[in-house]
Structure 1
Amino acid sequence: MKKVCKLLLLMLICLLLSSCWDAKQLDDLYLVYGIGVDISKENPERYLVTIVAPTVHPEANEPKIEISSEGTSIRNAQDNIQNKAARRITFANTKIFFIGEEAAKKGIGKHIDSMLRDPEGRGTIKPVVVEGRAVDLMDIDPAGIPIVSLYVSDLLRQSNETSTIPFITLRVFHNALKTDGIEPVIPFIKYGNKPSEFLVNTISLFRQDKMIGKLEGIESFAFIVLTGQVQDGFITLSYPLGDIDEYPVLTLRVKSGKSKIKTEIKDSRLHIYHEISLTTYISEYTSSESVFDEKIIEDMEKAANLHLEAICKKLIKKLQNEYENDNIGYGRYVKVNHPEYFEADDWNEQFAHAVVHVKANVRIQMVGTVQ
């Protein structure tokens, strides 16, 4: 009996002593929510890296701490930042990777590779290209949230849910970068009318790891539709009905969408057939005409189809002629369906000469409230 009691006592003591040997108190850490990279103003061969972390100490004068340092690489600059910090810096909670415009144009592949290799790095970190310099935006205090990284993280999530920008993480960008037949994209953030107001309705286009251009406004929505990522959003167009001088506005809200792509080689020419299907309901219609008429609904759907096809074709032509860059990812289908035709190194040039056919199928499911 004594042996049993001694064994139980020993087990109880072991349980009380168990803990994480490398555990650290929050007061001993800087939890980095956002990290930014810019080109150094003094030396274009070096990078300026900035971190922002909350100050958890109750007696701190500011709710956050911002530290910047230069280095030959993002990892080297992070080490230099640690030398300036009074606490251990950890990137396990990082949400946003801010990229200055100049740095994005120079190339970001090595930065993303470094962040993904880091044991604390997470593939779910969201990259965003910043108008101007990342360090300037990271210094802003948005209303209601002391850490700009948290505000931008919520802003990106909301803009993705309304089909304004695509869902992009470090892992998603890296996969597109390493996949033949598609070029990466990253959301682009601009300033609004006030210094603390941001606009996220733009997509930055990349060729490999270098930014080469942007899609804005309706082009951004068309990109979401073409890549099959639409889950909400609005289509607004003029729809003339009734009196000849009346040009009412018709706005359709998207409930869901699908994208279907087929490819064909015809007379030694690549043809790409892209069909888009959207289920919508009427969100706004400023005409006095009744919508309780199948013919009117059919006419609205035809008008919406023509409008959607026009903006999608215009975007594709821009990618083919102005940028010669396949950010939609048609090359992935050509690679599978026509391996004898597909050339990985020359695909963007092949894409520029392809014939792309776009067909829209917009269906109005509900008409909304009635008069």
Structure 2
Amino acid sequence: MRSGKERLPRSAATRLLLLLFLLMGTTLAAGCWDRKEVNNLSVIMATGIDKAGEDQIELSVQVYNPRTAGGGQQQGMKESGNGGGVDGQTIVRSEVGTTIADAMSKLQEKLSRQIFWGHGEIFIIGEELAKNGLRDHIDFLLRSPEVRDNADILISKGPAKRVLTLHIPLERDSAEMLHNLTDLHLGIATTIVDLSRMLVSRAGAAVLPLVKYSQSEEQNGGSGKISYLRGAGILKKDKLVGFIDSDITRGVMWIRNEIDRATVTVTPKQTESGFVTARLIRSQTKLIPSIEGDEWTITVKSVAEGDLIQNTTLLDYGKPELAKQLEKDFGEQIDAKIAAAVAAVQQNMNADILGFAQAFHRKYPKEWNRVKDEWDEKFPQVKVTFESDVKIERQGLSSPSALRSNQGGRSE
């Protein structure tokens, strides 16, 4: 009698086991077929895109220099006019083409290693190029599988290439410095995907951090100018329409609920001299739309909490009545910043980077559909009101009486 379970012949079992091992080996090997060795790549750290002629662009890339990694600068490695980082840790190469893809293919002929975008953290758009429109160039950045959609995109006051070649005294290169500055959230921060969403939004307006140059403060071994972030560029229908300074930019950030940290300084109404400064540690802003007949209104309602960090007046804000008035003063200062931002972008530029279109669409979809094609005419007519409420949570250990005395020498 044979058992209920048939056994495969030894040779058949051996062949089956061998086949399973072969299949497993094929599966594991498939994961490495397109591996790229770092030593064979030109790793791009930052990219600049400028206008070059009537129908061409200049693509500039800041490439990591592996020959200086870990061992400092080798003799003869620093290239005058091409180095974008400290001690030649990066080099800059440029090429002209009709599109980014065309310029990149020409640029590859200048680099002995395959171009790799995967580590690129910064893309900078030159001012002249931005005035002519960005949509075609953003198309490449969104389509390329290697380009990181969370990379920061900025606009430069002047040529973008210049930013890549400036000497950076504190960081490894300009890409690292600009990326760290955006991480501090002291100004507007925009990624590639953020920009694409703003350009296809109902308002069709966008805002980009602005890169400027300034003279280096170092006296010895001066390297000329350094780059920094200050203000923002405003785009409408993918074209640059103007710049706003840092104060207006902070007001825009209040309205867009993008304030991560801030300090506010006021001269209190109870005194004619001295200043009081608070550091805001929490804030939230809401846009409250309202439609009554033909009048469209937006209320910008901000709530913030902070700590008192400096008081140069003789007033003691440990007293509840004085503290309440001080909180009101801070609220009015924030309202003033918001009002200045609204005037700049609503009246002067007519570019809705404030989110008003989205707010009306969410609450009044039918009314919005009637005016969406004429939003450029409706947006400047929207009435804006402000309500800012600031609470001071802590005042520190110091008090006016501890540090100041009357003219007669007596303590207050």
TM-score by length of structure 2 reads 0.82
Q: In the alignment, is residue 359 of structure 1 matched against residue 387 of structure 2? A: yes
**Structure 2 partner of 1:316:** 342
Is contact 1:262–1:274 with CA below 8 Å preserved after alignment?
Answer: yes
For 1:278, which of 297, 301, 304 is the aligned residue?
304
For 2:136, which of 80, 93, 110 is the aligned residue?
110
* Cα RMSD after superposing both structures: 2.5
For 1:151, which of 162, 177, 200 is the aligned residue?
177
SS of 1:201's equivalent in the other structure is strand
More displaced 10-residue stretch of structure 1: 119-128 or 193-202: 193-202
For 1:45, which of 47, 55, 58 is the aligned residue?
55
Q: Write the distance in 2 (CA, Å) between the matches of 1:15 and 1:74.
A: 38
Match for 1:236: what amino acid?
A: T
Which of the two has higher C-alpha Rg?
2
Q: Write the distance in 2 (CA, Å) between the matches of 1:14 and 1:135.
A: 48
Q: CA deviation at 1:348?
A: 2.5
**Structure 2 partner of 1:334:** 360
**Structure 2 partner of 1:77:** 103
Is contact 2:205–2:353 with CA below 8 Å preserved after alignment?
Answer: yes
Give the unaligned 5+ runs of structure 2. Answer: 1-9, 69-73, 78-87, 217-223, 400-412
State how 1:190-269 maps to structure 2 within 5 Å: 190-194=212-216, 195-241=224-270, 246-269=272-295
Is contact 1:231–1:256 with CA below 8 Å preserved after alignment?
Answer: yes
State how 1:289-304 maps to structure 2 within 5 Å: 289-304=315-330
Q: Write the distance in 1 (CA, Å) between the matches of 2:27 and 2:141.
A: 37
Over residues 67-113 of structure 1, what are the superposed CA-to-partner deviations in whole Å (9 max), with x where a residue is unaligned?
Answer: 10001111111111112211100111111001111111111121111
Over residues 267-291 of structure 1, what are the superposed CA-to-partner deviations in whole Å (9 max), with x where a residue is unaligned?
Answer: 3111112211111111211112222
**Structure 2 partner of 1:56:** 66
Q: Write the distance in 2 (CA, Å) between the matches of 1:225 and 1:92.
A: 33
Q: Call closer, same or farther: CA 1:199–1:368 in 2, change over 3 Å.
A: farther
Match for 2:47: what amino acid?
A: I
Give the unaligned 5+ runs of structure 1. Answer: none
TM-score by length of structure 1 reads 0.90
Q: Call closer, same or farther: CA 1:260–1:21 in 2, change over 3 Å.
A: same
Q: CA deviation at 1:5?
A: 12
SS of 1:52's equivalent in the other structure is strand
More displaced 10-residue stretch of structure 1: 282-291 or 90-99: 282-291
SS of 1:135's equivalent in the other structure is helix
Q: Write the distance in 1 (CA, Å) between the matches of 2:177 and 2:391.
A: 36
Is contact 1:183–1:329 with CA below 8 Å preserved after alignment?
Answer: no
Percent identity, aligned pairs only?
A: 21
**Structure 2 partner of 1:165:** 187
Q: CA deviation at 1:16?
A: 12
Q: In the alignment, is residue 129 of structure 1 matched against residue 155 of structure 2? A: yes
Q: CA deviation at 1:257?
A: 0.9
Match for 2:228: what amino acid?
A: L
Q: CA deviation at 1:116?
A: 0.8
Q: CA deviation at 1:9?
A: 12
Q: Call closer, same or farther: CA 1:56–1:6 in 2, change over 3 Å.
A: farther
**Structure 1 partner of 2:376:** 348
Is contact 1:187–1:202 with CA below 8 Å preserved after alignment?
Answer: yes
Is contact 1:270–1:355 with CA below 8 Å preserved after alignment?
Answer: yes
Over residues 157-214 of structure 1, what are the superposed CA-to-partner deviations in whole Å (9 max), with x where a residue is unaligned?
Answer: 12x1xxx322310001101111103521110011233244333230111112111112
For 2:112, which of 83, 86, 89 is the aligned residue?
86
Q: CA deviation at 1:15?
A: 8.9
Q: CA deviation at 1:261?
A: 1.6
More displaced 10-residue stretch of structure 1: 229-238 or 171-180: 229-238
Q: Call closer, same or farther: CA 1:291–1:8 in 2, change over 3 Å.
A: farther
Is contact 1:100–1:133 with CA below 8 Å preserved after alignment?
Answer: yes
Is contact 1:49–1:69 with CA below 8 Å preserved after alignment?
Answer: yes
**Structure 1 partner of 2:35:** 23
Q: Write the distance in 2 (CA, Å) between the matches of 1:182 and 1:254.
A: 32
